[in-house]
Structure 1
């Protein structure tokens, strides 16, 4: 959340071209710290119990994780709705064009890049209520629908501040959906498969927005920026509803209640 927010501030302080160069240079510098920290981590051998199979690397391990995933409709659908949200309703690739065409460039592109992160930050700071929701599957679908609708409406806005507000709302909804997706994954994954399923989760989380960039740019090239932006958001919201209605396992999902929890 802080990364896009910082990038937006940098591009807002400097001119657009210089701001992009500074943001990438700072990112490269800080990434060396991350790389060094990872390199210095000690070896952590896997813990193997008698009740679990010995961990395996390579294609066999990947196949084992995917085989388990396809037998768990709730877990599979939680991944699917995130892919729908990111692939169809991620407008990030369109921000430079919209900032230039509608708002004359300048700091506008920084605000657009920061808006979703601002909403996610606010959502995180006010997220105490999330743990009190029992219908977590339904809440996940609802959050994705709010994300799609907020993205679609933001594409229709002609005021920069209204667009930023709607993108921030989308960011809050994305934070909520991320919490429920992570919770469902951790709940469903058995100990000996949690790492493999976390790997799939990481691929979905990291790859979905990049596919969304490709989809947004390609659609805008074939139609228009507004059509790509607005249409993608509405399609994502509609597909989330369709997935929930056609595969009700996710909508009906409730986590097992702790015996000590009387909520």
Structure 2
């Protein structure tokens, strides 16, 4: 927090973390209100995943070849404009699933370029031995918004209506633009900017293929998120299992807040993070706990027990996220960092969106209990198989802090 550039980015994320979560609740809620189907809500995963795949990888390559400050400004403006358009369609009462999904895709395209750029900026302004602490602080603030944003959404929905949630997110993005404007210029270390093309993306994949630890960190997170993230079922569970009225209520907010609540609690106590050297072991164990928690969530019969299991899963996911981000930052060179962050964005943000699709369809076919608990069991099996096949990840240790100069 003593580093001015990081501090400004971190403080600006307080407001925007809340605003972005209002939209994250509003989109699936609006679609469920229009259709009454979790299968349609699951389509948000598909429409969010495709732009993440395309623009996440390309955006990482762009972040390695241009001034990262300028790229952050452009993409944040794009995110704000699409949030404003989401408000306009909801305010006008269009009630079109396809308009909402199209705007979601556009929003995610800008997000997919923005996220790897933002993370690559952190790696430029924070010393290497403090990157796990920076990841913990960043993750804690993101989970702060993910806890209180959904709870705020649940409280506001019956009072101000769904369209206002989109509008608040639009206004909140002004805080990010202010913080990015205050950053110094961040061109490539070579000093030469250029256009990024397909060749740059391919070079990123070739680099990743040679870095087994990085590859494994992506694989285990894909397993955890695709098999174990049940958020597409929250609107259905809130209404049919936990007693929310059709217009939305507090149960929906608590379900969305459960995972980030546990993550935030863990993040607030994350001063120990820089003392953990066995990053691969920490990630593997954390993902196993996440799987167990999702099994418990699927079997829970009361709202509060369900939230407890979600919070346990959130705490485990926070541990995994801290050390996966630290692995990525320390095991990657700066000229490849944007591309690896792009792949990280595709995995971290794309995995849950793919899970939205699979869980929505699985619940429509077999019920919510099978979709949630069965997914948690698959996480446990999948992470064990992944570590057996990629043992270098289990053995990975963090670099030590440099000795002070005499």
Compute the TM-score of the two structures, normalised by the length of structure 1. Answer: 0.88
1:109 aligns with 2:248: no
What stretches of structure 1 of length at least 5 have no aligned partner? none
2:359 to 201, 213, 216: 216
Deviation at 1:78, TM superposition (A): 0.2
Contact 1:90/1:209 (CA < 8 Å) preserved in 2? yes
CA displacement, residues 104-137 of structure 1 (integer Å, 9 cap, x when unaligned)? 1131111111111111110101112232222210
Matching of residue 29 in structure 1 with residue 171 in structure 2 = yes
Pick closer, same or farther for the CA change 1:232–1:18 going to 2, 3 Å: farther
CA distance in 1, matches of 2:256, 2:278: 32
Corresponding residue to 1:61 among 170, 192, 200: 200
| Contact persistence 1:74–1:250 (CA under 8 A) | yes
Give the CA deviation at 1:31: 3.0
Match of 1:135 among 278, 281, 284: 278
Normalized per residue, which structure has more helix? 2
* Superposed counterparts of 1:13-52, under 5 Å: 13-15=155-157, 20-31=162-173, 33-34=175-176, 43-48=185-190
Q: CA offset at residue 30 of structure 1?
A: 1.9
The answer on whether the counterparts of 2:188 and 2:335 sit within 8 Å (CA) in structure 1 is: no
Over the aligned positions, Cα root-mean-square deviation in angstroms equals 2.5
Structure 2 counterpart of 1:164? 307
Check the 8 A contact 1:4/1:113 in 2, yes or no. yes
Secondary structure of the corresponding residue to residue 241 of structure 2? helix
| 1:51-130 pair list within 5 angstroms | 57-105=196-244, 106-130=249-273
CA–CA distance in structure 2, aligned partners of residues 16 and 77 of structure 1 = 44
Query: How much does 1:177 deviate?
Result: 0.4
Residue pair 1:88, 1:236 contacting (<8 A) in 2 also: yes
Equivalent residues of 2:298, 2:373 under 8 A apart: yes
Number of aligned pairs?
Answer: 258
Query: Distance between the aligned counterparts of 1:240 and 1:120, measured in 2?
Result: 20
Structure 1 residue 178: Cα displacement: 0.5
Question: Aligned with 1:24: secondary structure?
Answer: helix
Post-superposition offset of 1:214: 1.3
Q: CA deviation at 1:171?
A: 0.6
What are the residue-to-residue correspondences of 1:153-232 with 2, within 5 Å?
153-232=296-375
Change (3 A) 1:34 1:134: closer
- Structure 1 position 246 matched with structure 2 position 385: no
On the 8 A contact 1:16/1:107 being kept in 2, the answer is no
Q: Which residue of 1 aligns with 2:146?
A: 4
Q: Could you tell me how far 1:258 is from its partner in structure 2? A: 4.3
- For the 8 Å contact 1:103–1:160, the answer to whether it is kept is yes
For residue 255 of structure 1, give the secondary structure of its aligned residue in structure 2: coil
CA distance in 2, matches of 1:67, 1:54: 22
